[in-house]
Amino acid sequence: MPLYDLQCSACGHSFEAFQAMNQPQPTRCEKCGRKKARRVLVRPPKAHNKYEDGHPRKGRGRG
pTM of the model: 0.63
Average pLDDT (24-52) is: 83
Q: CA-CA-CA-CA torsion for 7, 1, 26, 36, nearest 10 degrees?
A: -30
Q: Is 6 exposed, middle or buried (0-12, 13-18, 19+ CB in 10 A)?
A: buried
Cα(34)–Cα(40) distance, integer angstroms: 17
Strands (E), the chain: 3-8, 14-18, 37-39
Average pLDDT rounded to a whole number, residues 35-57: 74
Average pLDDT, the chain: 83
28 or 60: which carries more pLDDT confidence?
Answer: 28
